[in-house]
Structure 1
């Protein structure tokens, strides 16, 4: 594998435990299995990943160092050994890539550009491409509530379901804003329902990117003051059928955090924390929303709904910063 990092059986066991995968599904090599099995197992792993590992940037706000390390070995310590933790695109997709590679999937990473206010930003996103029986699938576990919830077949304009009434597709087209109209890329688009307009989310090429590329790309999202990750705390996790949550309040006791995937149901919603706003949406409908007024409230949400266990020094690190909420 050209010196690429892979995980040991013990580390894979840690991952399976972290994403609440039933022990009967703990497999360590899919390379000899047929394509139908591989696709089914990929869908299973993806569902457990999305309902267990949040898209989050907590390190950029609740730490003294505010550094995002995307090395695959470091991600074992951060995501697999720290309760409730996840990461942003280059963390979650690097972790999932290394899991798939270690299990024998035909997988590689590519770079992407995110649309911001209708215009493409620079290269600061990544996702996986998995090939099964000659069919290629885009697999992205690092784009928050709008990321594809199933392996997305790389085919032009084929509509595939998302949460509730929403749907997604890939469009093969020229680079928006580019001069060379004959150079085409894949554009990932989402619409909220059948009557809505398609909205472009990001684009990507099929050229493989190396870990060294992402080391360079990882700098801007975590350091530039214009980056949304620097400006706001974000934490998003998918939920599934059979799971319910009470609206947060000061009297709610902390419940043990478990993955929605343990119910075996389909993904049907998202828990979304952005700055001081926390909401739960199910099938496109808002179940509840609460404005958080203090760090105490926000930390309680991170603990109760995402299962995080921040240390006292991490809680202290945000005090006095621009993204801190008012103290009680």
Structure 2
């Protein structure tokens, strides 16, 4: 049975993503939730788009718990995800952030289910395209949402280059991501597949109308179950070859409230925090040691780690010395 969040939890989530931030004059117990429910009845797709945009602009994507904790593990249980991302206001990767949105959508009555994806290796080496493209094992979570008999792919758990609005499952419908970047879906077989008649949806981006399309990840419309993601999550968060265990990374997208659009992001990787606005990147902080990184996580990403969490990185290969 699919987990659901209570009205109190949904109201807390909406407050977390700054949805309908004005106070209600009616004295309603859950003013944001009531406003959202009315919006969904009027235009479910527009409401979903707003939720995705605000989620991305409020909740960081990252892997801090793998490094800054005593347990060095990730839970995909809906209650644990809610506590971490909404109550503690920390970061999470795909099987946390997208999992949170999934339970929210189901709780609101959306017809949605989770699917799994394979991340392309091309972004790390943009020269590898076409028949030479290779994909990692299944390890990414997306949502398939049906509205008025039309299916959309929704994702809030990919960090940099994440889709910023619901993408209809239609080939080559080009949509703006964060300007000037564009995004689309195409459907084709994976180069590594023996049976080339089997095709997958490929999420692609391009940084300008003159640049090549880059495959970001592939997914199918098959529904995956919580126990499937538990297995994927174990590999992603514990595997010695998983890059999530080898580096601390955090991304926070920036929402322009006046324009109502996502305009850029902060990204912490290595010894730098960078800010990218409409394709222009600058270094806003250079990190010297662990104290710098912990303070940067709070300053730029709104994450306040507890003392025992900070102490958890001591002795790990990712500790900054």
Q: TM-score, normalised by structure 1?
A: 0.88
SS of match in other structure, 1:193: coil
SS of match in other structure, 1:155: coil
Q: Partners of 2:32 and 2:6 in 1: how far apart?
A: 17
Shift of 1:180: 0.7
2:164·2:262 contact (CA, 8 Å) conserved in 1?
Answer: yes
Unaligned runs of 5+ in 1: 242-260
Q: Partners of 1:279 and 1:201 in 2: how far apart?
A: 21
1:29·1:104 contact (CA, 8 Å) conserved in 2?
Answer: no
Q: Partners of 2:160 and 2:233 in 1: how far apart?
A: 21
Q: Partners of 1:265 and 1:287 in 2: how far apart?
A: 23
Shift of 1:176: 2.4
Shift of 1:218: 0.9
Q: How many residues align?
A: 301
Equivalences for 1:205-224 in 2 at 5 Å?
205-224=220-239
What residue in structure 1 maps to residue 292 of structure 2? 297
Q: Partners of 2:271 and 2:67 in 1: how far apart?
A: 13
Q: Partners of 2:160 and 2:217 in 1: how far apart?
A: 14
Aligned with residue 26 of structure 1, among 19, 33, 41: 33
What residue in structure 1 maps to residue 109 of structure 2? 104
Shift of 1:32: 7.5
Q: Partners of 1:81 and 1:264 in 2: how far apart?
A: 28
What residue in structure 1 maps to residue 65 of structure 2? 59
Distance 1:86 1:30, change over 3 A: farther
What residue in structure 2 maps to residue 278 of structure 1? 273
Shift of 1:224: 1.1
Aligned with residue 169 of structure 2, among 139, 154, 165: 154
1:120·1:176 contact (CA, 8 Å) conserved in 2?
Answer: no
What residue in structure 2 maps to residue 314 of structure 1? 309
Q: Partners of 1:90 and 1:30 in 2: how far apart?
A: 29
What residue in structure 1 maps to residue 48 of structure 2? 42
CA deviation vs aligned residue, 1:214-246 (integer Å, no higher than 9, x gap): 1111111111121111011011011023xxxxx
What residue in structure 2 maps to residue 258 of structure 1? none
SS of match in other structure, 1:148: coil
CA deviation vs aligned residue, 1:170-211 (integer Å, no higher than 9, x gap): 011112210111111100111111111111010000011111
Distance 1:31 1:19, change over 3 A: closer
Equivalences for 1:1-328 in 2 at 5 Å?
3-23=1-21, 25-27=32-34, 29=37, 33-34=41-42, 37-83=43-89, 85-117=90-122, 118-241=133-256, 265-326=260-321
RMSD over aligned CA atoms reads 1.6
Shift of 1:164: 1.5
Q: Partners of 1:238 and 1:173 in 2: how far apart?
A: 30
Q: Partners of 1:146 and 1:76 in 2: how far apart?
A: 24
Shift of 1:86: 2.4
SS of match in other structure, 1:290: strand
Unaligned runs of 5+ in 2: 22-30, 123-132
2:145·2:151 contact (CA, 8 Å) conserved in 1?
Answer: yes
2:62·2:249 contact (CA, 8 Å) conserved in 1?
Answer: yes
Q: TM-score, normalised by structure 2?
A: 0.90
Shift of 1:128: 0.5
SS of match in other structure, 1:216: helix
Q: Partners of 1:131 and 1:121 in 2: how far apart?
A: 27
1:72·1:94 contact (CA, 8 Å) conserved in 2?
Answer: yes
